[in-house]
Amino acid sequence: MTTNEPTIFALGGGGWMMEPDNPLLDDFVLSLAGTDRPRIALLPTATGDREGVIARFYEAFSGKARPTYLPLFRRDRPVELLLEQDVVYVSGGNTVNALAIWRAHGVDRILRQCWERGVVLSGLSAGSLCWYEAGVTDSFRAAEMDPLDDGLGFLPGSHCPHYDGEARRRPLYTELVRSGRLAPGVAATDGAGLVYRGTTLSSVVTSRPEAAAWRVHADGRHEALPARYLGASADQS
């Protein structure tokens, strides 16, 4: 079992679900485990345990890790499987549904144990938002966005993924924070990953040169966060 400090790698978007030909963020999450061929488990609840998503996960990580997954719509594996991993990866999808199902099956408690033991927690979109106290989601209504108030709360404050994904995300999130409806937090575009050690944001890495992240303050001000591009151009600079 991993002995890393509590670590969360939250992706605004990207990775194998969105950029199958760009493995930069996938390779980075494996590097956080600090071991060769780490054990990585997919938690695909937000997709309804969709078989195609699980197959793509195996395609992305087989050969450089030891992938497995935990289905919750078909209960044939114990949730304690997650405690045996070096990395737990949460898929994108419906955040609200995933949180409800995790709580019904005690997965929320297992995830906290994983985090406290140093299992790296990661994911994109829903798999990014879920770790925070609150944020913005399109899980309640198709093509609409609403505040989410009951995230897992491992990370303080609020979060908005896909900050460049839909035109309404930035103005809505800014207004919700400025009005006090949501606590100040961090926003990330597709291709940007937020590395937390404990509850402290320690770095931002990207799979695209233009990807970015910001702290969004109570007055709506956006503070750009330094980001490191993981691609070849970064090695030449």
> Could you give the percent of the chain with pLDDT greater than 90?
88
In a domain, residue 140? The reply is yes
Q: How confident is the model at residue 139 (pLDDT cuts 50, 70, 90)?
A: confident
Size (the chain), residues: 237
Is a pLDDT exceeding 60 seen at residue 185?
yes
Total domains, the chain: 1
Query: Catalytic residue numbers?
Result: 125, 162
At residue 235, the pLDDT reads: 43
In a domain, residue 182? The reply is yes
pLDDT tens digits, one per residue of 30-84: 999 999 999 999 999 999 999 999 999 999 999 999 999 999 999 889 999 999 9
Is 6 in contact with 197 (CB distance < 8 Å)? yes
Higher-scoring residue by pLDDT: 156, 145: 156
DSSP 177: H
Question: For the residues of 29-63, what is the DSSP string, one character each?
Answer: HHHHT-SSS-EEEEE-GGGTS-HHHHHHHHHHHBT
Is a pLDDT exceeding 60 seen at residue 173?
yes
At residue 234, the pLDDT reads: 45
Identity of the residue numbered 141: R
Kindly report the CATH number assigned to the domain that includes residue 126: 3.40.50.880
Is a pLDDT exceeding 60 seen at residue 236?
no
Is a pLDDT exceeding 80 seen at residue 141?
no
In a domain, residue 1? The reply is no
Higher-scoring residue by pLDDT: 1, 70: 70
At residue 1, the pLDDT reads: 46
Assigned token pair, 79: 């949730």
Domain range enclosing 154: 7-236
In a domain, residue 51? The reply is yes
- Tell me what the mean pLDDT of segment 192-219 comes to: 98
In a domain, residue 2? The reply is no
